[in-house]
């Protein structure tokens, strides 16, 4: 009698918008999803995406502006739509023009595509962005985004998750999760995932929301950067020369100098990261006090690259962070960098989402929603009412 091979159910299929270099895909597929169709407008990111994933069979990548894409271009049988829309107009480093901005306004094309899909619209949608979306225009931008999803038939949950819970990088992000089949609300309305500054979302009677019962994520890391730093020899030309290093040290405040002097007295080598800031019109460097990276960024929006500082009894050494260090801090240590130029890699990773954060969200929330294994609410908790009420004052 032959062996019977069990029939495995097909993996839920994903529409990946603003795909970047594919880190959301890595997290989703690690949780059991299958990304079927992807789009991004940046050719350099597409090149990195292709180097990492190659020809993955039943998958299509369309390079171009999302505004030129029609619902007829999309595949059917989709369970989830993921959209890491541009954050330039929402971040503190950007112009804070919000969802009306040229970059972040691309969100409205996500709404258009979902609407035009009609009955083929996926049952779950995720919008990932900076936490600045929650305060942009006094909360009106987030409220408008939620209401747009409500109009499509989605109930919405909003979570704040710092990637520092999974990697030694401070990187808080907002995850707006919409579903046409909302789960029963958590018994406890407050949690680490929904801090007090998000309470207004769930208190606004004009928004259709839910609060899924989720486990508490891992505690934020307090160390680990030094374990991910590349071992760059002292004579490597990537370390800054004496004059540039001296200028770096001279720019430090007395508090900063005391900090690095204390670290140099510790045994062995210690690593920290640093950003260049403008204080009172003067460019200065600031060194983080802990063994955790600051938020990795791109050069867009007025922010700067991050430097690595190596401190020991003999010397202070400074260099720019490497692409491999960016990959490790984004939870993608084995990402295929191929022949990618360093600045191209930094740009790709700086715009991305941390892989294990996506995986945690997918395993505990998105997959149960997509497969119908999360207890559903009997009815939507709050039906929509007339718009026009205040948001954050509630």
194 shares a domain with 73: yes
237 shares a domain with 131: no
- For the record, the structure tokens of 68 come out as 């030129």
Ramachandran angles phi, psi of 55, nearest 5°: -90, 100
Domain containing residue 69: 13-220+350-371
Per-residue model confidence (pLDDT) at position 7: 66
Per-residue model confidence (pLDDT) at position 383: 41
For residue 280, being part of any structural domain is answered with yes
Inter-CA distances, 127 with 25, 176, 202, 377, Å: 14, 5, 17, 22
Distance CA 354, CA 258 (A): 33
Which single residue is written with the structure tokens 């009420």? 389
Opening angle at CA 148, ends 144 and 154, nearest 5: 125
209 shares a domain with 239: no
Per-residue model confidence (pLDDT) at position 263: 96
269 shares a domain with 147: no
Per-residue model confidence (pLDDT) at position 282: 84
**Cut 0.75: pTM above it:** yes
Per-residue model confidence (pLDDT) at position 300: 55
203 shares a domain with 136: yes
Per-residue model confidence (pLDDT) at position 58: 85
Per-residue model confidence (pLDDT) at position 9: 74
**What CATH number is associated with residue 98?**
3.40.50.150
pLDDT tens, per residue, the chain with 394 residues:
566 666 677 899 999 999 999 999 999 999 999 999 999 999 999 999 999 998 767 899 999 999 999 999 999 999 999 999 764 433 434 443 444 444 446 889 999 999 999 999 999 999 999 998 898 888 888 999 999 999 999 999 999 999 999 999 999 999 999 999 999 998 776 789 999 999 999 999 999 999 999 999 999 999 999 999 999 999 999 999 999 999 999 999 999 999 999 999 999 999 999 998 887 888 889 999 999 999 998 765 445 689 999 999 999 999 999 999 999 999 999 999 988 899 999 999 999 999 999 999 999 999 999 999 987 765 434 444 344 444 444 4
356 shares a domain with 287: no
DSSP string, 105-127: GGHHHHHHHHHHHGGG--SEEEE
């Amino acid at each position: 009698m032959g062996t019977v091979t069990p029939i495995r159910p097909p993996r839920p299929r994903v529409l990946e918008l603003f795909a970047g270099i594919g880190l959301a895909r890595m997290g989703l597929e690690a949780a059991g999803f299958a990304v079927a169709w992807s789009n991004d407008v940046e050719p350099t990111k597409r090149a990195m995406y292709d180097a990492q994933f190659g020809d993955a069979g039943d998958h299509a990548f369309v390079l171009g502006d999302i505004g030129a894409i029609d619902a007829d271009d999309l595949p059917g049988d989709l369970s989830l739509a993921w959209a890491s829309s541009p954050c330039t107009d929402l971040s503190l480093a950007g112009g804070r023009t919000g969802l009306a901005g040229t970059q972040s306004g691309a969100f409205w094309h996500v709404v258009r595509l979902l609407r035009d899909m009609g009955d083929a619209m996926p049952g779950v949608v995720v919008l990932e962005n900076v936490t600045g979306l929650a305060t942009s225009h006094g909360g009106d931008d987030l409220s408008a985004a939620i209401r747009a999803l409500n109009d499509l038939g989605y109930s919405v949950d909003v979570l704040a998750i710092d990637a520092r819970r999974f990697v030694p990088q401070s990187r808080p992000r907002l995850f707006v999760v919409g579903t046409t089949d909302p789960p029963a609300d958590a018994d406890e309305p407050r949690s680490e995932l929904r801090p007090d500054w998000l309470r207004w979302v769930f208190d606004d009677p004009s928004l259709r929301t839910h609060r899924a019962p989720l486990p508490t994520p891992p505690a934020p890391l307090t160390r680990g950067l030094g374990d991910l730093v590349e071992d760059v020899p002292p004579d490597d030309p990537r370390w800054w020369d004496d004059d540039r290093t001296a200028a770096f040290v001279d720019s430090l405040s007395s508090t900063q100098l005391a900090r690095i002097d204390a670290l140099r007295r510790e045994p062995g080598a210690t690593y920290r990261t640093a950003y260049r800031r403008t204080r009172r019109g003067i460019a200065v460097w600031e060194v983080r006090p802990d063994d955790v990276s600051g938020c990795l960024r791109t050069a867009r929006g007025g922010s700067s690259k991050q430097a690595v500082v190596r401190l020991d009894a003999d010397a202070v050494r400074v260099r720019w962070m490497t692409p491999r260090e960016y990959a490790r801090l984004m939870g993608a240590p084995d990402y295929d960098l191929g022949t990618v130029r360093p600045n191209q890699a930094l740009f790709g990773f700086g715009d991305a989402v941390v892989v294990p954060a996506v995986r945690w969200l997918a395993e505990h929330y998105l997959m149960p929603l997509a497969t119908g294994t999360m207890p559903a609410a009997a009815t939507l908790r709050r039906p929509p009412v007339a718009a026009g009420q205040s948001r954050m004052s509630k």
